[in-house]
Amino acid sequence: MATVDSRERGTAVAPQHDRPKGGVVDWLTTTDHKKIGILYLVSAVGFFLFSGLLSLVIRAELAAPGLQIVGHQEYNELFTMHGTGMVFFFVVPTAIGLGNYFVPLQIGAPDVAYPRLNAFTYWLYIAGGLITFSGFLTAGGAAAVGWTGYAPLSSNTFSPGAGVDLWIVGLLLSGVSGILGAINFMATIFGMRVPGMTMFRMPIFCWNILVTSGLILFTFPVLSAAFAMLYIDRQIGGFFFDPSAGGDPILWQHLFWFFGHPEVYIMILPFFGVVTEIIPVFSRKPVFGYSGFVFATLLIGGYSLSVWAHHMFTTGAVNNPFFAATSMIIAVPTGVKFFNWIATMWRGKISMQTPMLFSVGFLFMFLIGGITGVFLASPPIDYHVHDTYYVVAHFHYVLFGGSVFAIFAAFYYWIPKISGRLMNEGLGKLHFWLLIIGFNMTFFPMHVLGLNGMNRRIADYSSASGFQPLNILATAGAGILALAVTVFLINFFVSMRKGEPAGDDPWGGYSLEWATTSPPPPHNFHRIPPVHSERPVFDDRANRGGAGAGGGPRGPGSG
Amino acid sequence: MSTKQRLILAAACVAAMLSACVPEPADVQGASVERLYTIFFIVAAVVFALVAGLITWSLVRYRAKPGDELPEQFDRNLKLELTWFAIPLATVVVLFVLSAGVLGEVNAESPDPSVIVNVEGYQWGWRFTYEGSGVEVIGDADDRPEIVLPVGRPLTFTLDSADVVHSFWVPRFLIKRDMVPGQQNSLSLTISDAGVYRGVCTEFCGLLHSKMNFVLRAVPPAQFESWLEEQRTIDGDG
C-alpha cells in the first residue's frame, strides 16, 4: 500500500495558520489536539501538585496524636479536596491529555474528529476544577463531605455552606466534559484511522482509551444525574436522599458507586495501555497476546459495570454474594494482563531506561494493589477492613503505585515526542528510586494500621491506640515523595531547556507517533508509513534495512 | 540500580506483608473472619511470590547487552494464554466459595439472643439501650460512653442512626455494620474473650467523626448481670 499523505485525506482541520503561533491567544483559542493535550497535561499536573500539597498537610497532622496544625473542619476539607482533586482533576484528565495528544498520532490522523468540541471539553474541565476548588475561598470553607459525598451528610441540613454547592457544580461540569471527550475519542478511533490500520492493528493504548471512553459514556451520566439530584435536594427543596421525607440515602451510594467503581478502571485502563506500549519497545519484542490484551480490556470494561456494590457490603442493603462473585472474577482479566506483560519481557532484550523503570515499578506496585483488592472483594474480610486505612493503602497502591507510576512512565516516554528533547536519565532514575521508596514507606504501613483498627478520615487518633510509630513512618515517606516530585520538576525544566535532542524516534518505537518529527508538525505527518501490522514503524525500519534495523532504545545512557 | 536491590525490595515487601495480620479476634464470628483472612493471605503470598518472581527473573535474565541482536519476535501461544486465564479463574472461584461459607456464619442472626442492645448513632455520639431492662448508656465526643456485655452469650445489636450514616465497629470483633438513617440493621455475635475493647464510628459522619468512639467492656455473665442491676438502680434513682 502506498504511503498516505495526511493532507490528501480531506479531514477537516482547524485553520491553525491564521493565528500567531505560541502566543497566549493561540493557546486560548487552539483546536489543535496536541496543544489541547498539552493544556490538559499541564493543568492536570497543576492539580496534582496542589492536591499533593493538601495530602502533605494531612500527613503532617497525623504524625502525632492531638490536633497540631489544622482543626477538625480544615482536616475534613483537606482529605475531601485531596481525593476530589486527584481523582477528577488529575488522574482522569491526565489520561484524557495523553489520549488527546497520542491517539490521533497513533492512528495516523491529523486531529481528533471534533476539534472544536475538544477545545470545549478542556475549558469545561478547567472551569469545573477552578469552581470545585474555589470552595476554599468561601466563608464556610471547601466541601468537607469526603470525595464520595455520602447522603445525607452532604445535604443542606448537615453541610450548609457554599463549599458543597461549588463542589457539586464543578464536578457536574467536569462530568459533562468527560462525556463529550469520550464521544470525541470514540468518533476519532472509529472514523479516522489511517487506511491499513484495522481495529486489530491499533496500538493497545488506543484500545484502552476506547474502552475507557465507553465506560465514561456509561457511567458519567449516572454521576451527573446523581449530582443534579443532590443539587436539587440542597437548593430546590428536593428529598431524593433525605430519609426524613421518604428519600433514600442508600440510593446515593448506588448511584455514586455505579459511577465510582468503573471510575477506578477509567483511571487505570489508559495506564495499562501506557505500560503495554512501553514494555514491548523496551524488550525489543512485539506485545505478547495482542488479542488477549484487547479481550481482557473488554472483559474488565464490561465487568466493571457489575461490581459497584462491593463498596456497600457493610450497608446491609445489597446482595453481598453476587457482588463478591463479580468483584473477584474481575481480577482474572487483570491477572491475564500480568502474564502477558511477563511473556512480553520473556526472552527479550530489556533496556532499563526511565520509561521502562517506571513501568516495572508499576508492575510491582499494582500487583500489591490488585492482590489486596481480592481481599476487599470478600465480604467477611471487608466487614473488618472496610473504611479503614487498609482500604486507603489498597487504593493508593492501585492509583499511585499503578496509575501515577505509569503516568511518570508515560511522561519519560512521550515528553521527548512532545518537546523534542529527552529528559535527563540520571535525574529520572533518582526520581524513580525516591518515588518507590517514599511510596512504600507512606502507604505500606497503612495496611497494618487498618488491620489493627485505624479507621479512615479521622483528624486525630488517641495516643493509647499505638498508631503513632507507623504514622510517623508514613509521614516521613510522604516527605520523600515530595522530594521525588521536586526532582521530577527540576528534571523537566532543566531538560526542556538543555536536554539532548530526541530526534524522531529515540526509543526504537513501534507505533506511528514515532514516524513523525518531535514535536510533530501541525497536521501531524509529512509521511505515514504503510500499516501492515500493529507495529508499522518497526516494519518500516525493517523494510528500509540497514544496521540495527530492529531499532531499540537509543536514548541517553543506553550504552 | 541492581537486580540485588530489587530482590531485597521484593523480600522486604514479603516480610512486611507477613507482619500484616488481623488482630486477635475477641468474638466467635471474628475467629471465622480470621481463618478466612489467613487462607487469603497464604494464597496472596503465593501469587505475589510467583508473579513478582517471574518479573524479577525476566528483568535479570533478559537484560539487553551492547551488540545484542534482535530477539526472536514471538507474540502468541493460545494454550499458554488459556492456561493463565484458567488458573486465576479457578483461584478466585475457590476464594469465593470459602468467602460465601464464612459470610453465612458471620451474617447468621442469633435466634434467641440473651442480650439485645439497640444502638443509635448521632453526630457525634452513641445511645445504647439494653432491651428489656430499660438501661441506657449515652455518650458523645466529649464524654465517651462505656458499655458492658457478657462473654459467651449470643448478643444482638440493632443499629440505627438519628441523622447521617454512621458505622458500628469494634476492631477486635473483626466485623462492622453501617447505621443508616431510616433503615434498621442488626449485628449478631458472641464475645469469646473478656476484655476492654475500643469501638469507633467507621463511616465519615462530619466534623467530629474522629471523636465518635465508645468503650466496650466484656465481662463474665454474672458480673454483667450485677452491672445491669446496678445501672437499673441508678437509672431508677435518677
Measured between its terminal Cα atoms, the distance across chain B in Å is 72
Q: Which of A522, A528, A526 is nearest to A33 (CA)?
A: A522
pLDDT in tens, A460-481: 999 999 999 999 999 999 999 9
- In this complex, do B10 and A465 lie within 8 Å of one another by their Cβ atoms? no
pLDDT in tens, A502-516: 999 999 999 999 999
Average pLDDT, chain B: 92
B117, HSE (Cβ side, Cα atoms, 13 Å): 24
Q: How confident is the model at residue A149 (pLDDT cuts 50, 70, 90)?
A: very high
- In this complex, do B62 and A150 lie within 8 Å of one another by their Cβ atoms? no
Are residues B110 and B154 in contact, defined by beta-carbon separation less than 8 angstroms?
A: yes
Best of B35, B207, B208, B215 to disrupt the A interface (most A CBs within 10 Å) is: B207
Averaged pLDDT, A80-109:
98
Quick one: pLDDT at residue B235? 67
Q: Is residue A551 part of a domain?
A: no
Contacts of A289 (CB under 8 A, 6+ apart): A336, A340, A343, B75, B76, B77, B81
Q: Is residue A515 part of a domain?
A: yes
Q: Is the pLDDT of residue B195 over 90?
A: yes
CA distances from A530 to A512, A539, B73 (A): 10, 9, 20
Per-residue 3-state assignment (H helix, E strand, C coil) for A287-309: CCCHHHHHHHHHHHHHHHHHCHH
Of B22, B71, B183, the CB nearest to A348: B71
Helices (H), B19-169: 28-61, 78-107
Q: Which CATH superfamily is domain B115-237 in?
A: Cupredoxins -  blue copper proteins (2.60.40.420)
Averaged pLDDT, A353-358:
98
Q: Is residue A12 part of a domain?
A: no
Quick one: pLDDT at residue A20? 52
Q: How far apart are CA A412 and CA A422, in angstroms?
A: 8
In chain B, positions 142-181, which contact chain A (CB-CB < 8 Å)?
A: 163-165, 167, 169, 171-172, 174-178, 180-181
CA distances from A200 to A203, A215, A542 (A): 8, 20, 21
The torsion region of residue A545 among left (phi > 0), alpha (psi -120 to 50) and beta comes to left
Quick one: pLDDT at residue A10? 40
Are residues A494 and A427 in contact, defined by beta-carbon separation less than 8 angstroms?
A: yes
CA distances from B29 to A157, A337, A376, A384 (A): 37, 36, 18, 11
Q: Is residue A558 part of a domain?
A: no
Q: How confident is the model at residue B68 (pLDDT cuts 50, 70, 90)?
A: confident
3-state DSSP assignment of residue A495: helix
Averaged pLDDT, A491-509:
96
- In this complex, do A153 and B19 lie within 8 Å of one another by their Cβ atoms? no
pLDDT in tens, B128-162: 999 999 899 999 999 999 999 999 999 999 999 99
Helix then strand then coil, % of chain B, to nearest 5 = 45, 25, 30
Residue in chain B closest to A382 (alpha carbons) equals: B175
Are residues A188 and A113 in contact, defined by beta-carbon separation less than 8 angstroms?
A: yes
Q: Is the pLDDT of residue A4 over 50?
A: no
Q: Is the pLDDT of residue A549 over 50?
A: no
Quick one: pLDDT at residue A555? 53
- In this complex, do B180 and A458 lie within 8 Å of one another by their Cβ atoms? no
Q: Is the pLDDT of residue A15 over 50?
A: no
The torsion region of residue A143 among left (phi > 0), alpha (psi -120 to 50) and beta comes to beta
Chain A residue numbers touching B58 (CB-CB < 8 A): 342, 345-346, 348, 350
Per-residue buried b or exposed e for A23-59, using 16+ beta carbons within 10 Å of the residue's own CB: eeeeeeebbbbbbbbbbbbebbbebbebbbebbbbbb
Q: What is the DSSP code (8-state) at residue A285?
A: S
- Say which amino acid occupies A100: N
- In this complex, do A316 and B10 lie within 8 Å of one another by their Cβ atoms? no
Are residues B29 and B174 in contact, defined by beta-carbon separation less than 8 angstroms?
A: yes
Quick one: pLDDT at residue B67? 85
Q: Is the pLDDT of residue A14 over 90?
A: no
Which residue range is the domain that position A464 belongs to? 34-545
3-state DSSP assignment of residue B166: strand
Q: How confident is the model at residue B16 (pLDDT cuts 50, 70, 90)?
A: low
Q: How confident is the model at residue A544 (pLDDT cuts 50, 70, 90)?
A: confident
Of A72, A314, A343, the CB nearest to B167: A314
Chain B residue numbers touching A388 (CB-CB < 8 A): 202
Chain B residue numbers touching A452 (CB-CB < 8 A): 23, 171
Q: Is residue A295 part of a domain?
A: yes
Q: At A140, which CATH number?
A: 1.20.210.10
Q: How far apart are CA B5 and CA A162, in angstroms?
A: 51
Q: ipTM of the predicted structure?
A: 0.92
Averaged pLDDT, B115-138:
96
Q: How many domains does chain A have?
A: 1
pTM score over 0.80: yes
